Amino acid sequence: MTTTPDLDLMPGVEATPLALLLLGRQSDPSSERGVDCPGDLPAASDPTLVARARAAKAALGDRVFVLGHHYQRDEVIQFADVTGDSFKLAQQAAARPEAEFIVFCGVHFMAESADVLTGPDQAVVLPDLAAGCSMADMATFDQVEQCWDVLTAAGIADTVVPVSYMNSSAAIKGFTGRHGGTICTSSNAKRALTWAFEQGTAGHPTKVLFLPDQHLGRNTAVREMGLLLEDCVVYDPHKPGGGLTVEQLRAATVILWKGHCSVHGRFTVDSVRDVRGRVPGVNVLVHPECTHDVVRAADLVGSTEFIISTLDAAEPGSAWAIGTELNLVRRLAKSHPDKTVVFLDKTVCFCSTMNRIDLPHLVWSLEQLVEGVVPNRIEVEPETARWAKAALERMLALP
Ligand code: 13P
Ligand code: SF4
């Protein structure tokens, strides 16, 4: 199984220098992500890895359930019992009370959510603790508490409903639950914002604090719900008062946290222009974590599940430039040989933290489980989990 990109499937795509692909090899214990794998990993070159993963899975049988996010490597996704976007995987984790072990091939915040949604006798395992998310790291619990103090001082906290993207730590999901808010993913952000605005009354309208992805918040509010750009302000946690005046906060309808995805943030309007020149008749399809300008320049916008179903339904012979993580785009190119599928950017770029989960880490975790050791267990502290669960269940119940 190869982990190198099929550049022939991406006309005009150049390989990124190796150093970039190695980003994330080091770990940062102070961030949302964890530390390096504590055990002895099998060598990546070991030719028996696939057979070892199969044998370990077979030995565990129904005791283990492997979840795989769409951005995972091919070498890992082949062992997933279910693949999905973050919403579907949260639903699937909640729907498997019989599985003793949930091995989460995704990133840390997804594994935390799975722990919150599963029972106390179920263990959620993240094969590499360093698989975090740089966007989730852009909103720490202390910063969000400080922001709430700023909103309280401005006299608006009682009108604000927090809507937190799934890509946030369990502590922030707990904050959201405690303040009567909901979680959302890229596939239900409009429904979540609609719900949040419905919590207000004509005389007491709601404002939304959307965190941590300003782009998903802006794209949903403006593109999907018809709000104006001027209705949104950006709260910068690194500036006193978020860099906003009390008047700006009081006038805003949506307060966007200044966070973004470093992968989707790479796509530019120039990438869109360029691909339209390179690939005749191309349809540009992007994830809503892209900037508002890119989303406006694209033809279609949606979550990873939406991207997959759009390609499934597309006419043979049609051409698509996809603005999302490269592992998914490569798989779409392979599974749709009757269509032209290219990566929106000219430079190859994976999500380095998603890519931390590789076959050696998966084999190591499964074999540890076979030996009776639960490695890299993700456990959310009970009080945080209680409130995070309230916010997650609100999301799962959205109409
Ligand atoms: P989805 O909600 O589409 O799964 O996306 C998760 C993610 O991390 C996107 O960068
Ligand atoms: Fe986080 Fe972006 Fe990677 Fe998604 S693609 S896990 S938002 S860094």
User: Which ligand sits nearest to residue 350's alpha carbon?
Assistant: 2
Separation of CA 342 and ligand 1 centre (Å): 19
Distance of CA 232 to the CA centre of its chain: 22
Q: How close is the Cα of 382 to the center of ligand 1, in Å?
A: 26
**Burial class (CB within 10 angstroms; exposed 0-12, middle 13-18, buried 19+) of 254:** buried
pLDDT level of residue 33 (50, 70, 90 thresholds): low
Atom of ligand 1 nearest to the CA of 186: 2
pLDDT of residue 36: 57
Angle at 132 between CA 17 and CA 81, to 5 degrees: 100
State mean pLDDT over 122-150. 96
State how far the Cα of 82 lies from the Cα of 257, in Å rounded to an integer.
Answer: 32
The Å distance, Cα 261 to ligand 2 centre, comes to 6
Per-residue pLDDT, 200: 83
- Going from the Cα of 106 to the center of ligand 2, the distance in angstroms, rounded, reads 10
Residue 38's pLDDT is what? 58
Report CA(48)–ligand 2 centroid distance (Å). 30
Ligand 1 neighbourhood includes 261 CB (under 6 angstroms): yes
If you measure from the C-alpha of residue 152 to the centroid of ligand 1, how many angstroms do you get, rounded to a whole number?
Answer: 31
What pLDDT, on the 0 to 100 scale, is given for residue 20? Answer: 34
Provide residues with CB under 6 Å of ligand 2: 107, 133-135, 167, 261-263, 325, 351, 353-354
CA-closest residue to ligand 1 atom 6: 86
Task: Calculate the dihedral angle through the C-alpha atoms of 109, 218, 220, 250, rounding to the nearest 10 degrees.
Answer: 100
Of 67, 78, 129, 133, the closest CA to residue 103 belongs to 67
State the pLDDT at residue 376. Answer: 94
pLDDT-derived band at 65 (thresholds 50, 70, 90) equals very high
Reported as a pLDDT band with limits 50, 70 and 90, residue 145 is very high
Place of tokens 């965190």: 211
Instruction: Name the residue of 23, 89, 167 to mutate for ligand 2: max ligand atoms within 8 A of Cβ.
Output: 167
Domains along the chain? 23-133+353-380 (3.40.50.10800), 136-260 (3.40.50.10800), 264-343 (3.40.50.10800)
- pTM for this entry: 0.89
Residue nearest to atom 9 of ligand 1 (CA): 289
The half-sphere exposure of 186 on its side-chain side, counting CA atoms within 13 A, is 24
| Atom 4 (ligand 1) nearest CA | 85
| Two tokens, residue 351 | 């999500």
CB 199 within 8 A of CB 162: no
- The residue length of the chain stands at 399
Average pLDDT over residues 28-43: 61
- CA angle 378/382/388 to nearest 5° reads 80
For residue 140 the two structure tokens come to 């720490």
- Residue 86: per-residue pLDDT: 87
Greater confidence (310 vs 39) lies with 310
Residue 239 has pLDDT above 50, yes or no: yes
Band of pLDDT at residue 37, cut at 50, 70 and 90: low
Instruction: Tell me the ligand closest to 136's alpha carbon.
Output: 2
